[in-house]
């Protein structure tokens, strides 16, 4: 059962690269939470459960995307990502809020609640 749940959550998280950035983030008609991460980053791995929780609770009212900073160095540079993980909330294709480092689950949820105006349980 746990493997099935993991597959469902993975389907809710969208991997973004330079090729699909415009479609998934800039042209999104719903708000987007983006996690900039690195595959080698232990702190990013620590945040995986939180990102999964947020993705599982999006209910179609926002989406969760992930950008691997080495695969998409141009996007990391564009948004001046110097620390991973970095979380950025986009609304209408523009960044409206950001926080970096290992964050408490409530901090990530509050970013969405405040910037997007949605009630999300966690």
Superfamily of domain 2-116: Glutaredoxin (3.40.30.10)
pTM for the full predicted model: 0.87
Give tens-digit pLDDT for 66-85. 999 999 999 999 999 999 99
pLDDT, position 40: 97
Q: What is the 3-state secondary structure (H, E, C) of 5-73?
A: HHHHHHHHEEECCCCCHHHHHHCCCCCEEEEEECCCCHHHHHCHHHHHHHHHCCCCCCEEEEEECCCCH
pLDDT in tens, 23-49: 999 999 999 999 999 999 999 999 999
What integer pLDDT is reported at residue 119 of this predicted model?
Answer: 61
For 92-122, the pLDDT digits (tens) are: 999 999 999 999 888 988 888 887 665 655 5
pLDDT band at 1 (very low <50, low <70, confident <90, very high): very low
Domain boundaries, the chain: 2-116
């Amino acid at each position: 059962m746990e493997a099935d749940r993991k597959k469902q959550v993975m389907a809710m998280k969208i991997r973004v690269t330079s090729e699909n950035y415009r479609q998934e983030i800039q042209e999104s008609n719903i708000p987007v939470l983006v996690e900039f991460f690195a595959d080698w980053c232990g702190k990013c791995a620590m945040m995986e459960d939180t990102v999964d929780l947020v993705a599982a609770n999006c209910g179609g009212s926002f989406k969760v995307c992930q950008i691997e900073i080495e695969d998409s160095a141009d996007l990391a540079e564009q948004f001046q990502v110097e620390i991973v993980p970095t979380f950025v909330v986009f609304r209408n294709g523009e960044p409206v809020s950001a926080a970096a480092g290992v964050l408490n689950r409530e901090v990530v949820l509050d970013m969405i609640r405040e910037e997007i105006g949605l009630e999300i349980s966690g």
